[in-house]
Amino acid sequence: MLCTFLENFNVLSCIKYTSLGGGKSGSNYLDPIKDSLSTFFTQFSLFVNKKFSSKTTFLIFIAIYTISLFSLLRENINYIDDVDRTALGYTGWIYFSRYSSEYLSQVLHANSYLADISPIPQIIAIIELSLACLYLIKGISGKREFTVWQIAASLPLGLNPYFLECLSYKFDSPYMALSVLIAVVPLLFIKHAYLFFIFTVISINVICTSYQASLGILPMTVSFTLLSLYIKGESLRSVFKTGLIFASSFVVGFFIFKILIMNPVQTYVSNSIAPLSELPSVFYEHMKNYYLNLVIPDSSKLWIKLTILVSITLTLFAVFNSKSNKILTLVFTLFTIFVALILTYGFYACLEQPLFTPRALYGIGAVIACIIVLAVSNKDLYIAKICSIIFAWSFVVVASAYGNAIVAQRNWEEFRIAEVIQDLTTIENNGQPFKYRTLGSAGHAPAIRNLNHVYPVIGRIVPVTFGDSGWMWNVEKFNRYYEIRNMTLDNSITDTGNPDLVKETMYHKVMVFKDKLLIILK
């Protein structure tokens, strides 16, 4: 294949020609190779700057997402909630006001009982994310044909490491991806006031009833689209008018959801906004936690440097190439980036008890995508184009590594569970049931511990689901998948007193207290 490729540019024929002494001596000796390399790079330049139609771009996105997620899709992993949904087939999303997820899942699974039909839901999620990326570059660039650079630039929207957790859920993933797609749909109507208003109101309610973590993506993408329009010469009055239409439609849509649809929730998370007197301090603390304790530690130094570099590049490009007022363009650009960085988690940060798990943190990927898409839309910004390729490839690598890592973790936990069960089968209680509790943790698989140091975010999105039974998902698989008879969970059991029997291996210790078992994982 390589030979055929090179022969298309006459490289092999030139090498054969010169190696056989057929070339001229002196300065002309390497001319055939130089000409062939020149042709090669010319053709390469034409390819990377080629404009692809919307249909072709959409298919390219599907191919990239499928390849990146192939290691995850092929293994049929039950990710956290999937353990119970696979065994029990329940929905359970209405409690969190996720009505779209509730009813669409019943349509997709053709029943109120959700059978495991993977990887169909995740394939649907890939299609939705591909459309979302397409609509993002179409909205910000305002064009109908797209380059390789724009395709690469938009990938952080759905391929960022945090959203990998969303894609891991076999049952939830299509509705999480739907929320991202719906968040960019209004961009297609931004120049049509009435349609823009209507679709924004609809989008907000679909987002809030599918997966609320995407709510900040909608105003974020609209802000970058308005900035793009202003740079291209759209009047400030027109931009302000469109922004006002969006703000009013956002408020209308949100109040429709809050008053007519939302169910109050007060569990491990809350959808109650902090009291007004405490809101500034609560918001500040949550945003500080989001960036200083989560996003920055989870990110590689390369990602942080590239984000800063492309942000500076975009700002300089916007000011020097703007067809509008230069000073206002500078202010508009800096303001848009600042607001976008807040919107990555901003609405959750207003809540009394928000969610800080990776599946709620993916707004940062949308910011990166918006910044780079706007930057690479200018054909002369080569720094931004290089950054887009590095980012895209880096996220493809992380996605592939994550898929393999979670398989290694599953195999490790199944091995640890089998070791415990082997000891349990030798313990008898005259047919009477045991109460049991697990302590400790199986930890991450030895095969991925070094990977966690290189990519800390992988360590956060690969869950450990065999350990202390205080967290229900640590024992759900142990309880439901192995038909362990005569055992009920009791988290009040302690290790005080002398056990009647102790079984200990290098992986665990099982302590027997009459009708109680304490399983301590090492």
Q: What is the 3-state secondary structure (H, E, C) of 296-340?
A: HHHCCHHHHHHHHHHHHHHHHHHHHHCCCCHHHHHHHHHHHHHHH
pLDDT at 6: 43
SS3 of residue 58 by DSSP:
helix
Dist CA 202 CA 161 (whole Å)? 28
| CA-to-CA dists, residue 489 to 217, 504, 511, angstroms | 42, 21, 15
What would the mean pLDDT of 111-129 be, rounded to a whole number? 96
pLDDT at 9: 43
CA angle 36, 42, 45 (to 5 degrees): 145
8 pLDDT more than 90: no
Give the confidence band of 503 by pLDDT, cuts at 50, 70, 90. Answer: confident
pLDDT, tens digit (0-9, with 9 covering 90-100), for 382-437: 899 999 999 999 999 999 999 999 999 999 999 999 999 999 888 877 777 888 99
Give the confidence band of 17 by pLDDT, cuts at 50, 70, 90. Answer: very low
pLDDT at 22: 47
Phi-psi sector, 482: left (phi>0), alpha (psi -120 to 50), beta: alpha
240 pLDDT more than 70: yes
pLDDT at 358: 94
14 pLDDT more than 60: no
pLDDT at 380: 73
Tokens of 166: 């969303």
pLDDT, tens digit (0-9, with 9 covering 90-100), for 224-235: 999 999 999 999
pLDDT at 16: 46
SS3 of residue 90 by DSSP:
coil
Compute φ and ψ for 146, nearest 5 degrees.
Answer: -140, 150
pLDDT, tens digit (0-9, with 9 covering 90-100), for 297-328: 999 999 999 999 999 999 998 998 899 999 99
pLDDT, tens digit (0-9, with 9 covering 90-100), for 174-228: 999 999 999 999 999 999 999 999 999 999 999 999 999 999 999 999 999 999 9
pLDDT, tens digit (0-9, with 9 covering 90-100), for 20-43: 444 444 456 666 776 666 666 676
According to the 3-state scheme, what is the secondary structure of 106-152?
HHHCCCCCCCCCCCHHHHHHHHHHHHHHHHHHHHHHCCCCECHHHHH
Give the confidence band of 121 by pLDDT, cuts at 50, 70, 90. Answer: very high
Dist CA 64 CA 62 (whole Å)? 6
pLDDT at 434: 86
pLDDT at 86: 94
What would the mean pLDDT of 226-247 be, rounded to a whole number? 95
Of 22-26, 88-92, 126-130, 356-360, where does the model show the most confidence? Answer: 126-130
pTM: 0.89
pLDDT at 427: 84
Dist CA 521 CA 417 (whole Å)? 10
pLDDT, tens digit (0-9, with 9 covering 90-100), for 73-90: 998 999 999 999 999 999
Dist CA 198 CA 80 (whole Å)? 37
Give the confidence band of 465 by pLDDT, cuts at 50, 70, 90. Answer: very high
The larger pLDDT score, comparing residue 205 to residue 274, is at: 205
Residue that is written with structure tokens 């999620």 in the block: 125
pLDDT at 54: 95
pLDDT at 382: 86
Mean residue pLDDT of the chain comes to 90
pLDDT at 180: 98
Q: At what angle do helices 173-184 and 120-141 cross, to 10 degrees?
A: 10
pLDDT at 302: 92
18 pLDDT more than 60: no
The larger pLDDT score, comparing residue 347 to residue 379, is at: 347
